[in-house]
Amino acid sequence: MRARWTSGRATTTPCWRWRATARSCCWAKPPTARTSSTSCAARSPAAIAEAGFDAVALEADWPDTLRLNRYARGAGDDTLDEAFGDFDRFPTWMWRNRAMCDFVQWLREHNRRTQGDVGLYGLDLYSLYRSADAVVGYLERTAPEHAATARRLLSCLDHVRDPQDYGYEAAAGLRQSCNAAIRRLIDDLARRADSLARTDAAALDAHFEAERNAHVVLRAEAYYRAMFDDRVHTWNLRDAHMVDTALALRRHLRMRGREGRIVIWAHNSHLGDARATEMGEHGEWNIGQLLREQIGAGRTLLVGFTTYTGHVTAAREWDQPPERRWVRPARRDSYEHAFHASGLDRFFLPLSQERGRTLGGPLLERAIGVVYRPESERASHYFDARLGEQFDAVFHLDETTAVEPLDIHERWVRHETPETYPFGV
């Protein structure tokens, strides 16, 4: 297939026709840029409506996303605004933003119009205590006699309620690790699943949600302990968990009679194959690499986003308010600058092996997450990559605009004005 260098509005169709066998389509969704977020939200309906994808999985916590999932599937009493209510941990704007609102509303209407059941799910593991509470709450509603056992097993998490404090105390030997107790709880839930009627879809979904919350507790407990152990890559624990969650969701959807095709939204650094970047050289893996290895490169479509300049919503430091930051024009030794030199404002580029070799590399690639530090941009945001091996395709948006948070902070309103690059006058 020839490269689709498309000026103006980028087309969506090539992705699905080009890789129709894909069971997992990974959209690299920067959490900061409206243009890129809107592009994800605009292209995911094409994946759902044209190619029959069954779910959208987000780089977000599992319990936080469940209210969105129910709203999109026409269940529950939440309004659209209320369905975003559990996204209350930094960075709230990553999913609490206008582009995401538009997509969730579209998905609800699509499900109503087509009598569909396409849902939204979280993949991440930060919700140690919220997930533990959710498991106990599920058992209190469905099997009160087992809820007391669950509370006893999870009592080793009590008295702290801050996951990093728990991780420090467990790693330092100041408290017993909960790992064995959580595994017992998971085994108990698995045994209960065998007694559920396969025709009761609501009960199966509720039990699956509880099981995944228990797995979040298991992996989060290990993650927060590992934060205080220099021998363990916490990045690897996190991305392995996200892949396990995606594959468990795939199995659940298939058990429900669906194909189990999933769109995943996460950052470039999670979705591009780590083996083609300096991350791999440092012993790190990610979602893109693990999915290619576990379900096959031909059944996985990794799509990245790049930008040359514009504005993003990002904090100056972790846990600080979001601001509308000006993105410095990309370095000349980067892929972003090479794409800018094409003179096109946006385009879609499939990356065959031959085309990947034409791009050359390694070159620098920029990654801007929820914190942007232009004063140390080379060290903080650029890494070496071979783009043709990292992704199956990329969308380039030469100038991006900042994602609009649902909760507007005064610092976001006073957006950062671009300098007269490169002179600053």
- pLDDT (tens digit, 9 = 90+) per residue, 34-89? 555 555 655 667 677 777 899 999 999 999 999 999 999 999 899 999 999 999 99
Residue 58's closest CA among 110, 107, 120, 134? 120
- The residue segments making up the domain with residue 367 are 1-50+267-425
Asked if 318 contacts 301 with a C-beta cutoff of 8 angstroms, the reply is no
- What's the confidence (pLDDT) of residue 9? 37
* CA–CA distance, 6 with 344 (Å, rounded to integer): 8
CA dist 16 to 12, 22, 359, Å?
8, 8, 23
Question: Model confidence at 8, in pLDDT bands (50, 70, 90)?
Answer: very low
- What's the confidence (pLDDT) of residue 45? 74
* CA–CA distance, 102 with 68 (Å, rounded to integer): 12
Q: Cβ-count burial of 66 within 10 angstroms (0-12 exposed, 13-18 middle, 19+ buried)? A: buried
pLDDT at 375 over 90: yes
Question: Model confidence at 179, in pLDDT bands (50, 70, 90)?
Answer: very high
- What are the tens digits of pLDDT across the range 198-240? 778 899 999 999 999 999 999 999 999 999 987 778 999 999 9
- What's the confidence (pLDDT) of residue 326? 96
pLDDT at 390 over 50: yes
21 in a structural domain:
yes
* CA–CA distance, 65 with 63 (Å, rounded to integer): 5
In the chain, the percentage of residues whose pLDDT exceeds 90 is 74
383 in a structural domain:
yes
Considering only residues 347 and 35, tell me which one the structure prediction assigns the higher pLDDT. 347
Rounded to 5°, the CA angle 268-272-273 comes to 150
* CA–CA distance, 363 with 349 (Å, rounded to integer): 17
Considering only residues 242 and 19, tell me which one the structure prediction assigns the higher pLDDT. 242
Q: Tell me the chain's radius of gyration from C-alpha atoms.
A: 22
* CA–CA distance, 195 with 184 (Å, rounded to integer): 18
- What's the confidence (pLDDT) of residue 10? 38
- What are the tens digits of pLDDT across the range 296-309? 999 999 999 999 99
pLDDT (average), residues 243-254: 97
CA dist 297 to 4, 240, 293, 304, Å?
22, 17, 7, 15
* Average pLDDT across the chain, whole number: 88
For residue 55, list its beta bridge partners: 119, 262
Q: Cβ-count burial of 135 within 10 angstroms (0-12 exposed, 13-18 middle, 19+ buried)? A: buried
Rounding to the nearest 10 degrees, give the CA dihedral for residues 21, 101, 345, 401: -140
- What's the confidence (pLDDT) of residue 239? 98
pLDDT at 100 over 80: yes
- What's the confidence (pLDDT) of residue 35? 53
Asked if 300 contacts 26 with a C-beta cutoff of 8 angstroms, the reply is yes
* CA–CA distance, 79 with 68 (Å, rounded to integer): 10
The highest-confidence range among 17-31, 147-161, 247-261, 343-357, by mean pLDDT, is 247-261
Question: Model confidence at 24, in pLDDT bands (50, 70, 90)?
Answer: low
pLDDT at 31 over 80: no
69 in a structural domain:
no
Least confident interval from 23-27, 29-33, 253-257, 329-333: 29-33
In sequence order, which residues have a C-beta less than 8 Å from that of residue 212 and are 6 or more positions away? Answer: 62, 245, 248, 249
Residue 121's closest CA among 269, 286, 242? 242
pLDDT at 11 over 60: no
221 in a structural domain:
no
225 in a structural domain:
no
pLDDT (average), residues 113-132: 96
- What's the confidence (pLDDT) of residue 28? 67
400 in a structural domain:
yes
Please state the pTM of the whole predicted model.
0.90
- What's the confidence (pLDDT) of residue 188? 93
235 in a structural domain:
no
CATH number of the structural domain spanning residue 389? 3.40.1660.10
Number of structural domains the chain divides into: 1
* CA–CA distance, 395 with 304 (Å, rounded to integer): 6
Helix axis angle, 163-171 relative to 128-142, nearest 10°? 100
28 in a structural domain:
yes
Give the burial string for 224-235 (b: 16+ CB within 10 Å, else e): bbbeeeeeeebb
